[in-house]
Amino acid sequence: MARNPNNKLERWEVAIIKAMMAETPRKTDQDILAYFTRPTRSINHGRIKDIRDTKTHTAVPAASAEELAEFLDAWPNVAGSGLHLIGDELLIKAREAMLHAVQGFNNPRAYFKSEVFIVTAVIAWTYLMHAHFKRQGVDYRHRDRRTGELLKTRNGADKHWELEHCLGNAACPLDEATKANLKFLIEIRHEIEHQMTRRIDDLISAKLQACCLNFNVALKMMFGAEHGLDRELGVALQFSGIAKSQRDLLLKDTDLPAHLVAAHLAYEDALPDTVIRDPKYAYRVAYVERSVNSKGKADQVVEFIRPESAEGQEIASVLVKESERKKYKPKDIVELMHAEGHREFKLYDHQLLWQGADAKNPVDKFGVELRPGDWWWYEKWVNYVRVALAR
């Protein structure tokens, strides 16, 4: 388990300890220690003795009899995960928020799955990073850049770092692909906060799955394997498989708002291919219906294939192709525009459009030249054409 470098008592706990020491019958230091040590924090028994001998915390007054009684009535005050509801509040909230995000997305009666997941998952990650910074002794409160004074909310509370600020801090332990995944979801969240989104689940589902897996990995890395969520939720059951015709229809008729498509493409255009293909950025799974010739395997809903096997390499090649950005030739774009009702749009019109926009300038990343004279256009350019024709 990750060791807590800040194994220390909080002020309110010192007050309770002093009240316990004044009780009759008298509690020993070992008796008192039992109330304040837990798996996520180990307190040395010498700290209790130092308080009794007035070597430390002399300025902290003892808790009242009522406060002590309230503490004892609530003790051990732990969640089902074994975490303390006060001392581990941030970690408990992080776990709970992510579980709510996943449960909400898996709800068969929910219509706004991705929107609810993104908002709740961002909250979960924010709490997780705050819990990590607190454990590492990092002050995660906003300060005035000039004076260094703490910034306050409208109601006078300290302003804590938002997730974007947490990801940019040097003490953030997350790798670049995990950060890219979260920054993508934050970008989408900005777009959906005040906009109608319609159906976006299929567009970003790989990012949501990666977000879940990344959260569980980070949670266990920071706080120990015993706090992981992989034992909380298993394989989701379905009422039917997905036919190829259904999948093709979903991919073809997404009915997505232009602002979401633009945000998606603009963000990914700035990412290197190594990040785009990293499963921590977008987790893609080959979902294959198969028959088995073994009684044992007949009970397995999910079967894991070794990457080095021939079958694993074949699946990997499919996933790599899936992760590459879709490319279009000019005639493909013209045909697509015709299908969308712009029958007057010709190849010559397309040529004039890209020349007028200087669209082959590599700065804009509208397309790529695979070999001399062989230019292919990205979805970003298709969307540009679509907007131009709609004017």
Say how far apart CA 163 and CA 341 lie, in whole Å: 43
Low-confidence ranges of the chain (pLDDT < 50): 1-3, 240-255, 298-301, 322
Residue 251, burial from CB neighbour count under 10 angstroms (0-12, 13-18, 19+): exposed
Nearest to 347 by CA among 337, 357, 339: 337
pLDDT, one tens digit per residue, over 48-74 is: 999 999 999 999 999 999 999 998 888
Token pair 């979805």 is found at: 379
Predicted local distance difference test score (pLDDT) of residue 260: 56
Predicted local distance difference test score (pLDDT) of residue 306: 64
Q: Could you tell me the two tokens for 326?
A: 């879709």
Predicted local distance difference test score (pLDDT) of residue 50: 94
Predicted local distance difference test score (pLDDT) of residue 14: 95
Residue 187 host element (H or E): helix 176-192
Predicted local distance difference test score (pLDDT) of residue 247: 46
Predicted local distance difference test score (pLDDT) of residue 182: 95
Angle (CA) 343-347-352 rounded to 5° is 110
Compute the residue count for the chain.
391
